[in-house]
Amino acid sequence: MSGEPGPARVRRFEDLIAWQKARELNRAVYAATDARPLSLDRGLASQMQRAAVSVMGNIAEGFERTGPAEFHHALSIAKGSCAEVRSHLYAALDARRIDQLTFDGLLAQADEVGRLLGGLRASLRR
């Protein structure tokens, strides 16, 4: 994957571009869920927050595990959580809890994180 350093050249999970982008996505999800009218839908807002936190948390946890197979597994879970964020975005849009501009921006961020995670998983298989 272009731009992503391999795990052997990275000393901390914070150095991974995928984790940095997941953190940005998390920050943006929290900003959206803190704003009205989404903030009034506590169930959906909470689900979105937990999924976004899970993306960056699983990257970090997997990186700190003992081997590439465990890291690969954790990245698979993170990618699934990223898809969950995307699905919740559609639910928020359909329920008119977010506007199209917010949806488009968050979806683009989630797509980018998903691509980075897929690329990082592929690099671990090599």
Please tell me the pTM assigned to this model.
0.90
pLDDT score recorded for residue 5 = 46
70 or 7, which is more confident: 70
| The total number of structural domains that make up the chain | 1
5-49: pLDDT as tens digits? 444 578 999 999 999 999 999 999 999 999 999 999 999 999 999
Q: Are 76 and 106 in contact (CB under 8 A)?
A: no
What span, in angstroms and rounded, lies between the C-alpha atoms of 60 and 41?
29
Neighbour-count burial for 44-60, b at 16+ CB within 10 Å, e otherwise: bbebbbebbbbbbbbbb
Residue 1 inside a domain? The answer is: no
What span, in angstroms and rounded, lies between the C-alpha atoms of 62 and 57?
8
9 or 73, which is more confident: 73
Residue 2 inside a domain? The answer is: no
88-100: pLDDT as tens digits? 999 999 999 999 9
Any idea which residue has 């909470």 for tokens?
Answer: 46
What CATH number does the domain containing 86 carry? 1.20.1440.60
